[in-house]
Amino acid sequence: MKKLTKTNGIMKPKLIMFALFLLTTALSYSQNSYPKKIVLDSDTIVAITPGQLTKTNVRFIEYDLCSSNLKESKEYIDELEQTILNKDDLIKEYNNSFNRLSGAYNELDSVSSQIEKDNIKINRQNIRLKKNIKIFTGVSFAAGASLILILK
């Protein structure tokens, strides 16, 4: 026959039941005793340990810090939103200035092109006038020389 040990046979379910019983008792005890309430002359006082008080105070400090950080974050976000609005206004102003300057550039380019065309026409006229002056100078000189020869 086999020897009965703690880990096989009937002892194993008993061990599990015992552990569950202890765990259930510990859990129900901790739920019923926290926080400890003391009644004095029909007044109820909640008693906590110094460690619990420290943990509670740390939580309040963390809450205050988080609230402060939240407030600062909201202010920072508001500043960023205002900066974004200002940036958008600056971009619109820049685009308007660019469009005005672009229109002025196009107008100046058109005027410059017209001036260049007019300069080409004037240069052609100057070349023709110079040729005509040379021709008239030659004709005048020939007529003057002919007239002098005739009158002599």
Query: Quick check: 146 pLDDT over 60?
Result: yes
Of the pLDDT bands very low, low, confident and very high (cuts 50, 70, 90), residue 42 is: confident
Percentage of the chain surpassing pLDDT 90?
48
Percentage of the chain surpassing pLDDT 70?
84
Task: Look up the pTM and report it.
Answer: 0.39
Asked if 64 and 76 count as a contact pair (C-beta separation under 8 A), the reply is no
Quick check: is 93 in a domain? Answer: no
Torsion of CA 91, 95, 98, 104, to 10 degrees: -150
Residues 15-43: b if buried by 16+ CB within 10 A, e if exposed: eeeeeeeeeeeeeeeeeeeeeeeeeeeee
Look-up: residue for tokens 């030659």?
Answer: 138
Quick check: is 21 in a domain? Answer: yes
Asked if 45 and 37 count as a contact pair (C-beta separation under 8 A), the reply is yes
Query: Quick check: 24 pLDDT over 90?
Result: no
Name the domain count of the chain.
1
Distance CA 62, CA 53 (A): 14
Domain enclosing residue 26, as ranges: 1-33
